[in-house]
Structures are given as structure tokens and as C-alpha cells.
A and B are shown apart, each in its own frame.
Chain A
């Protein structure tokens, strides 16, 4: 089989056969082309036939390029046999079986073609050719299929498969899960696909975290006090009517260990939560459809269709880009990390940021008043935090105070492989967490404080506790960088998004992967949990946003509309509106509850329309990529991004212009 011509012929014939097949089968045959192409190419390289491989690539890649650009481009740089032994993508293709799905009848046709070159096509359709050459070509295809492909034959005879289904089931999916079943018995040897993996896992506990009984009494007391102060405001705890949709609260024994006794800040946070809930602007995107009954429910809170967005534009940013930015929950602070290795804090209320002086005597500090006395006299509304030695890729404020007051801690992660904890009272770096070996792309506080998680270039996500320098858990399993980490609202689970095109859900206690979300056609760049704990939204480099059901691990829908990278996602408090900010200088509002999909009204050009029907609004900015977009607890939206200088495009090297 040293003859490259057999592979040319084989691929050419396969292509002709796929193109000549009936319309109903073509969607399930088309995915065959990509793995066969890849393996033929790798074969040629393996045999040292570099020139033939290049010719093969040039002749047949254009058809596959639109859907598989990144992979194909990467493969095209492999030119010597030695590359195949070290390159991961090539190794994955070689070692793992590429899964495809076919219907019974489709598979029968395919086998027919492989044996006699006739199946599926009407007599003489296409320019398939027979004879010795044709047989050799089909043999080559058959060899690849035997060695590297795994075709799942569906029980149904119907050939119809949706595109979404295809994305979830096709590809090198087996390794995503077979690696992650730790120590399971014999049945895990057989690699499972993500669906069966997800189905095999135990059900998730997605309800709200329990509230400590003593803390709850204290909160109730505090609320009553406020009520007496301002009796006009009926700030009592909203009636806890257990809606049927409400998920059961997590049992206290399931929670990760937390500080045993509550503090004043906890009471204040819980009280603020209640008052936020009462003062919240209710969002209801269904109002857009039925504008008639827009002002229903007299005496109730105001209901509007879409949120108000306050945009904080950063200007005069060096090089015009900000890797990360975040707002504190009480909307008083904005932190941005820069590529120049520093973090900058802004007080959005216009108050001065003043740290504590470093030259005070601890014995003199007895009460809060004393603390005020040792604060720096000078201060400004913005402050630099210097400590990292590489671009700062993520910042996160501690959630302990909630919306009741300014946060006291800030976490940041950087290309220098460290995570740093900053005290916002001292305005200084307090702890450096080392453990990752490569740049730390993301860091995120747990919803209850105490814990935080990080994701790194070293393909792991880690769980940390602020009190310990070493990570508590290492979540390994992703096949590529962990780009983003997010805590489930009840802090039992951690979601990670990776450049291997998947997102995963991990059990924090056990450190095991409990769900795999497969379907994106690019790395994950943004994630958000819905506050009701049911859904996960992921934004990807394929410019789509997927909504996943956590229980089943299935994709609910795919939302498209962005035309550049998606940087940030956020859910409204009622989990019915999703906002996304992206590099296309827009903020977009999405309807979570509607069915979505490509609705095309009459006379519209389908090919030009990339926006799914659940896109409620597109709000463009003036040249500002939206780095962060965040719902406040009262359903206001804060967004931020650096405005791009209107300078000339980058100077090209002289010989290119």
C-alpha cells in the first residue's frame, strides 16, 4: 500500500458516492469524508510521501475546510513521520476511534458501496469508476474504516438526523469520557459516548443551598427590625411558596465544609438578598410578543421586557485591550486586569479608595473607629495593584458581603502561573497560590466564599481553599486548556470549559466528572450558570451559545448571532434572560425560555440570516468589545470594555503592503 494513487482514487470515489447519494442519506454520509481524509493524509505522511500528501491536501481539503478549519490547518503543518509520533491531534486520530452515526438503511448502503461500488447511488450516478483502480481505492477506505472509525448504527431505519445531533455524536468523542470513569469495573473498558456516560451518572442535586438555622433566625430578626424602622416598607421575607418548578434544597450534609458559625456579614448579606428580591426589576421577554398586557398586576413590581444596561467604557487603555474585568456584587467596585501585569481598581461611586496605613500599632486597634483612623488620608477613585509578572487573565471579587457592602478580597490569575489574593482593605497582595504549572486562565470564587477554583493551560482545573496554599482537588480530564471555570450556585458543582471543545461538570466533593457537554465546534470562551441551578450556558469560538440542561447533559438549544468571539455571559435573576458580550462590539439579549432555532419569515434570505429567533435585542457599542457583562442582583446590567482607538490598522511589514 505504498501507492498514493490508491488513496487519491479512494477518496475521490467516496466523495463522488457521497455526493451522488440520495438527499435523505447525504447528511449522514457527509461526515464520513473528514475522518477518511485525515487518515489518508496521515497515512501518506507516515509513509514519508510528503509531496503526495501535500498534493492530496491541496486537492481535497477545500471542501472540508469551512467546517474543520482549525484541525485541518494543524494537520497540514505535519509533514514528517516524526511529527506524527509527538503531535497530539495526530495521535488522537490514530489511537482513538472516530465515531459516526448512521441509520440502518444508510449503513447497509455504505457497506454495499464498499463491497461493490454501487450502493446508494442510482445506476451510473456520479463519476464513480470501477475496475482494479476503483477496487483498490475502496479497499483503502475500508481499511481506514476498519481501523479508525466506529460507526454506530441506529436502530431506526429513518435517515433523518438533525445537525445538532450530528455535532454531539460525531468525532473523537470516546476519549472524552473513557478516561474519566475512575476505577469503574469492566464495562468502562468499552468506550462510551457522552450520552450514555451522562445517563450513567447519578442524578445531580441542583437545588438551593441550605440556610443555617441560627443564621436564618438572625436574618428574620434583622428584617423585623428594619420593618419597624420603616414600617411603610413591607420588607418581610417573601412568602416561600414552593413552586412546583422549584428544585429541592440541598441537604446540609451534602454541602462542602463551611465555617461553623455565621458572622455579621452573613446576616447582612442575607438581608440584602431579601431586599434585592423585593426591589428587583422583573424581566419578562414574553412582553415583547404581547405588548397589550404590558402593565399587568397592579401594585406589583414593574415588569419590563428587557434590562437596562450601564456601560462603563475604559478609555486610553494601552494597546486598546483589557484581558479581564469584573464588577463587585454591590456595584461599587470595578477591577480590571491588564496585559501589563497590573490590576486596576475603580470605585464606581466616586469615593476614594483608601487602604490602611502600614505603620500602625496593632495594640491600639480595638474597635471599628480605630480602623478608620489608620486609613490613608490620601486616595483616589482608582488604584493600581501591582504584583503579577505576566498578563492578568482573570479577576474575581469575593461574594461574602453580597450586595450589602463592598467586598474585602480580590483574586487574580495570571500568565505567571500564580493566583494572588489581594486584600482590598490593605490594597496589597496577601497570598500567592502556586500549584499550576502554566498560565492560569481563569479564577472564580465559590458562591459562599472560602473556596475558589482555577483553570489553567496545564489542562487541569483546581479547587482551592483560601486558607491553604495547596489545592484541595485537581480536576483532570480535559484534553486541552481549561479556559474557564464557574461554580454552580449551590457550590456543589464546578463547570469547566476547555479548548477541547467540551464543557464538563465536576462534583466538587468527589472530584469526579459528572457530566460532559459535547456539541460545540470550537473552544469554550464564556460560561454562566442560571441562578435557578438548572441550566448552563456556554459561549464558544464557533460563535454560538449553547444552553445545556444539567440533569440530562443534553443541549437544549443553540443560539447564534454573534459574529466575533463571545467574551462574557450572564443570566438574569429569574433565569429567563441571558446576556452576552462579545468582540463584535455588541451586547446581545437572548430569550432563554423560547424554543429558538432559525425562524425565517417569508421572503427572507435564509443564507444570510445567522441569528436565531431567540435573539431579543442587539445593542451595539461604539468600537468597544464587551469584556464583561454582569447582572446585578436587582436585574440591572453592568458591562465594560475598552474602547478601540480609531487609529489606522496595524502597520504591516513593509513587504506585505
Chain B
């Protein structure tokens, strides 16, 4: 071999040893530290590094032997996960006593310890033994009998073709079903499941394109179709999703949002609620969030839509609160929070008032009277007006205040729905006490407003309603939700 002569050829590269410097003891999974820990625990102190390192290497080799043996058992059991049972069988086959007490069905939990002698960041893991009180086990734990193994046949393939039955997995989506659907930019092309019958898919695309068209007549026709046609139930999840997505998207754009889309969305909710052939109840939890957002969000693309949203909400409540008893109280809770939490904007509060009005008399009483919503709202309005008088009062603020006042006024109308008898009882203005009482309940701002209102009958009616409410107030057990809000 010495006769072989090497010619100098090129540069000398660095040997890899310097390129990848590893700590001398890092020779595998089992480190010599672990061996030392184990030795310590067995009462063998002061193990030399060389011995520990050699032992670590050997332990690693032996453990690997056991694992390779166990993998055979795993493979023949046609599994892909190694279990403790495999290890047991492997140990048995290697003439080692198996580790008793581990079951594949009970996952191990480990505890982490930091041994005293070692530096930071080195931990020892130990299996945690659960302490079981035998008496309690005997008394309480009922062993659940597992279900018997069963066998059920089905056709996986008929002459090489998989039948479309629930037992078989759905066929992989073929590319052409997606391409032959017209992909109009306004409709989400991929949201429809391909399992829908083709006519419905067509209807869906047509409907959405009509709803989004600038043509009022087409839009109205589409909404009317949605409100009356039968057989649309399969589309409901998609439509509800669509509404949710669209509303979120438009509202996120604040003032730039497209009011037309929002209006259409509201219209769709209304139409679907109207349609007797559509079973909307399961989707309420999906519909209500966008609706409430439309009502409450402050930088609103179209504040004029708030009343519409409120009326749609009213529609839903009258339809579903009899069947779904917690609906009203849940809504009340949300609305009260919007009305009373300090950092909300004025338009949000106004929206909340409208929402409370949509809940009915009870909503108004709870919100404006009992939780003193009117009083705080009044204070805020007053503050705004003061600021307005101060000089820099923008038109916008004025408009917001006016909207709030309008909302409260409409809400309070619900308290005294009685139509004024023409000229019947106009003679008597409210007396001092009445006025005081109103101001007490609604705060100075709205109290004064009501008492100074031209419509005396209404004012009196409100006063009476308040009086009644006050009388009852003592023994009305206040809803827990409301309680939380007030405190």
C-alpha cells in the first residue's frame, strides 16, 4: 500500500471534526448524566465519567435491542404505534422480566424533577404513580363494559367503481366540477359544497348575483323569492355564512363599507325569517351576531340601517322567543352591556336602545328604567350638547344626539302605547310631583324632555307606566344577567 503515491491535488479541506464540534459525552439519547442520576438513586455515588459514559452507550444499545424486538411485535399486530404490550412481549422474548403495570390504554404521565446536584436546565423525568384509594374505587368506579366487536359489510367497489354510499369515503374532488361553475367575482365560488344538487347550485349563484345587482327590481324579486319559495333549506347554511362574512367584511371597512350590501344582508335575514319553508332556528346563533353588529357597531357605514336592523331583530324575536326561551334574556344581556358600559360611543348606546325597544316593553323597562339607562344616556347627551354649545360642536355630534333622543323617544313610546284620545285629556299639565318623578327615573335630561313634550297624554302614560313599574319593582326578581350588568 505504501507504493501507492498520492499526488498533491487541490487544497486541504478542514477535517469535519473541527466543523462539527460536539461535546464529548453527547453520544446519544442516554447521557452519562442520566446514568449518574440512576447510580445515585441506587446508592452508588461518585461514578467516574468514563464509566458512566460507557454505561450510557451500553444502555442505549440494550434499549435499542428491546425496541427493535418490540417493533417486530408491532408490525405483526398490524399496528403503527408501539405499545407497552409490545415492549412486554419483547422483554419476555429476550428472557427479561417484563415491566408490569403498564397498559397501552392508560397513557403514562411523567413528572419533571430537577436534581439537586446538577446545574440548571437538566431535568429528570419520572413516571407519576397515581394514588388510588381502593375503598373508593370499589365503591364508586363502575367498569364500563366495552361494546362487542361487530362486523358490517358494504360494497367497497362494484366492478372496480366505488359506489357513493356513506360507508365509502367521498370521492376526491375532481377538477372539472369546480371549473364549470361560473366564477363571478361577487359570489364566493368555492363556498358551495359540490354535494348540492345542480339546480340549487344554479339558484344560489343567480340569487346572489341578483341580490348584488344595482337593479332595485331584481333585488326585490330575489328577496321576495327568498321569502316565499320552498325547497331552499339546503342553501340556508351557505346563505347564512354569506351574510355573516359579508357583514363582517363591510363593517370592518368602517365608513367606507357598502351600505347596499348591508341592506341586502338585512333583507336576506328578514326574508329567510319570513319564509315558512325555511327552518332557520338552528342557524340563529349564526345570524344574531351580524345582526347585532349592524345594530351596535359605531363607525357604521350606514347609520340609517340601525332602525331596519332593530325591526329585523324584533321580527326574529317575535318568531322565535316563544320556542327558544333564553333568546330574549341573552339578547337583553348583550344590549344592556352595550348601553351601560362606560366606554361605548353614543351611537352604540342609541343602537342598544333601539335593540331594547325591539325586545318589547319588558326590554325598555329593564334597560331604560330599572338599570337607569335613560339617566346615564341623558347625562351623556347633555354633555354633548354642552360641548356643542361650547363652540366646536360638529354637525356630526348634533346628529348623534338627535339620533339617541329619537331612539329613546321611540322606545318610551312602547311604555305608553295608548293612542292619545283626541283632545280628551289635554287640560292638565303634569304636576310638580309627576315631573319630579319622571326626572327621578329618566334623569334630568329625558325627564324634562318628556314632561315638556306636547303630547301630554303620552307623558302621563309614561309616568303611569313608570309608577306601575316602580310598584312592581320591589318584588320583581331581577335576572341574574342584569344584576351583573348593574353592579
**B20 contact set on A, CB distance < 8 A:** 55, 58-59
B61 contact from A77, A114, A622, Cβ within 8 A: A77
> Which B1-18 residues sit within 8 Å CB-CB of chain A?
1, 4-13, 15-17
Do the beta carbons of A619 and B157 come within 8 Å of each other?
yes
Given A138-B6, A311-B155, check contact A339 B85 (CB 8 Å). yes
Q: How far is the CB of B48 from chain A (nearest CB, A)?
A: 15
Complex interface: stretch among A95-103, A128-136, A175-183, A238-246 = A128-136
Query: Does A620 lie at the interface of the complex (its beta carbon under 8 Å from any beta carbon of B)?
Result: yes
* CB nearest to B161 among chain A residues: A306
The prevalent SS among residues of A at the interface is: mixed
**A131 contact set on B, CB distance < 8 A:** 6, 8-9, 12
Inter-chain CA distance A307–B146, complex, in Å, is 36
Do the beta carbons of B6 and A78 come within 8 Å of each other?
no
Do the beta carbons of B61 and A135 come within 8 Å of each other?
no
Q: How far is the CB of A475 from chain B (nearest CB, A)?
A: 19
The interface on chain B, measured as residues whose beta carbon lies within 8 A of the other chain's beta carbons, has a size of 70
Do the beta carbons of B157 and A306 come within 8 Å of each other?
yes
Counting chain A CB atoms within 10 Å of each CB, the highest count among B17, B28, B148 belongs to B17
Query: Does B110 lie at the interface of the complex (its beta carbon under 8 Å from any beta carbon of A)?
Result: yes
Do the beta carbons of A315 and B149 come within 8 Å of each other?
yes
Do the beta carbons of B72 and A583 come within 8 Å of each other?
no
* CB nearest to B10 among chain A residues: A129
**B183 contact set on A, CB distance < 8 A:** none
Q: How far is the CB of A468 from chain B (nearest CB, A)?
A: 26
Do the beta carbons of B158 and A308 come within 8 Å of each other?
yes
Query: Does B255 lie at the interface of the complex (its beta carbon under 8 Å from any beta carbon of A)?
Result: no
Given A311-B155, A313-B154, check contact A138 B19 (CB 8 Å). no
Do the beta carbons of A55 and B22 come within 8 Å of each other?
yes
Given A9-B15, A308-B155, A617-B160, check contact A80 B58 (CB 8 Å). yes
Q: How far is the CB of A617 from chain B (nearest CB, A)?
A: 5
**A619 contact set on B, CB distance < 8 A:** 156-157, 162
**B16 contact set on A, CB distance < 8 A:** 8, 12, 55-56, 59-60
Complex interface: stretch among A500-508, A511-519, A647-655 = A647-655
0 or 1 for each of B116-156: is its CB under 8 Å from A? (1 = yes): 00000000010000000000000000000011111111111
**A650 contact set on B, CB distance < 8 A:** 81, 107
**A78 contact set on B, CB distance < 8 A:** 61
Query: Does B79 lie at the interface of the complex (its beta carbon under 8 Å from any beta carbon of A)?
Result: yes
Inter-chain CA distance A622–B89, complex, in Å, is 31
Query: Does A438 lie at the interface of the complex (its beta carbon under 8 Å from any beta carbon of B)?
Result: yes
Q: How far is the CB of A336 from chain B (nearest CB, A)?
A: 8
* CB nearest to A438 among chain B residues: B93
Q: How far is the CB of A316 from chain B (nearest CB, A)?
A: 4
Do the beta carbons of B157 and A129 come within 8 Å of each other?
no
**B108 contact set on A, CB distance < 8 A:** 653
Given A139-B1, A439-B76, A620-B169, check contact A319 B64 (CB 8 Å). no
Inter-chain CA distance A468–B112, complex, in Å, is 57
Inter-chain CA distance A583–B80, complex, in Å, is 9
Query: Does A633 lie at the interface of the complex (its beta carbon under 8 Å from any beta carbon of B)?
Result: no
**A407 contact set on B, CB distance < 8 A:** none
What's the count of A-B pairs with C-beta under 8 Å? 239
Query: Does B168 lie at the interface of the complex (its beta carbon under 8 Å from any beta carbon of A)?
Result: yes
Q: How far is the CB of A555 from chain B (nearest CB, A)?
A: 23
Inter-chain CA distance A5–B153, complex, in Å, is 64
Query: Does A399 lie at the interface of the complex (its beta carbon under 8 Å from any beta carbon of B)?
Result: no
Query: Does A142 lie at the interface of the complex (its beta carbon under 8 Å from any beta carbon of B)?
Result: yes
Given A130-B7, A313-B154, check contact A5 B15 (CB 8 Å). yes
**B4 contact set on A, CB distance < 8 A:** 114-116, 135, 138-139, 142
Complex interface: stretch among A46-54, A192-200, A264-272, A595-603 = A46-54
0 or 1 for each of B65-100: is its CB under 8 Å from A? (1 = yes): 000100011011111110101000100010000000
Given A80-B57, A127-B10, check contact A583 B78 (CB 8 Å). yes
The prevalent SS among residues of B at the interface is: loop
Inter-chain CA distance A348–B152, complex, in Å, is 9
Query: Does B325 lie at the interface of the complex (its beta carbon under 8 Å from any beta carbon of A)?
Result: no
Given A133-B12, A321-B79, A583-B80, check contact A655 B151 (CB 8 Å). no
Do the beta carbons of B60 and A135 come within 8 Å of each other?
no
**B154 contact set on A, CB distance < 8 A:** 310-311, 313
Inter-chain CA distance A607–B30, complex, in Å, is 38
A321 contact from B27, B78, B147, Cβ within 8 A: B78
Inter-chain CA distance A52–B162, complex, in Å, is 57
* CB nearest to B79 among chain A residues: A321
Do the beta carbons of A8 and B15 come within 8 Å of each other?
yes
**A639 contact set on B, CB distance < 8 A:** 156
Inter-chain CA distance A5–B13, complex, in Å, is 12
Query: Does A421 lie at the interface of the complex (its beta carbon under 8 Å from any beta carbon of B)?
Result: no
**A627 contact set on B, CB distance < 8 A:** 78
Do the beta carbons of B17 and A316 come within 8 Å of each other?
no
Given A8-B17, A115-B4, A390-B89, check contact A323 B78 (CB 8 Å). yes
> Which B338-373 residues sit within 8 Å CB-CB of chain A?
none
Knowing that A308-B160, A314-B149, A565-B75 are A-B contacts, what are 7 other residue pairs whose CB atoms are under 8 Å apart, sorted by A's residue number?
A5-B17, A51-B24, A80-B54, A116-B6, A128-B9, A306-B157, A313-B154
Which residues of chain A have a CB within 8 Å of any CB of chain B? 4-5, 8-9, 12, 50-52, 54-56, 58-60, 74, 76-80, 82-83, 114-118, 124, 127-135, 138-139, 142-143, 304-319, 321-324, 334, 339, 344, 346, 348, 382, 390-391, 393, 415, 438-439, 441, 457, 481, 483, 499, 523, 525, 541, 564-565, 567, 583, 587, 589, 616-617, 619-622, 625, 627, 637, 639-640, 650-655
Which residues of chain B have a CB within 8 Å of any CB of chain A? 1, 4-13, 15-17, 19-20, 22, 24, 26-28, 53-54, 57-58, 60-61, 64, 68, 72-73, 75-81, 83, 85, 89, 93, 104-105, 107-110, 112, 125, 146-162, 167-169
7 nearest A-B pairs in the assembled complex, by CB-CB distance:
A306-B160, A135-B6, A130-B9, A79-B57, A651-B107, A311-B156, A77-B64
> What are 12 of the A-B contact pairs (CB < 8 Å)?
A52-B17, A117-B7, A130-B7, A135-B4, A138-B4, A308-B157, A310-B153, A315-B150, A439-B73, A564-B80, A587-B157, A622-B169
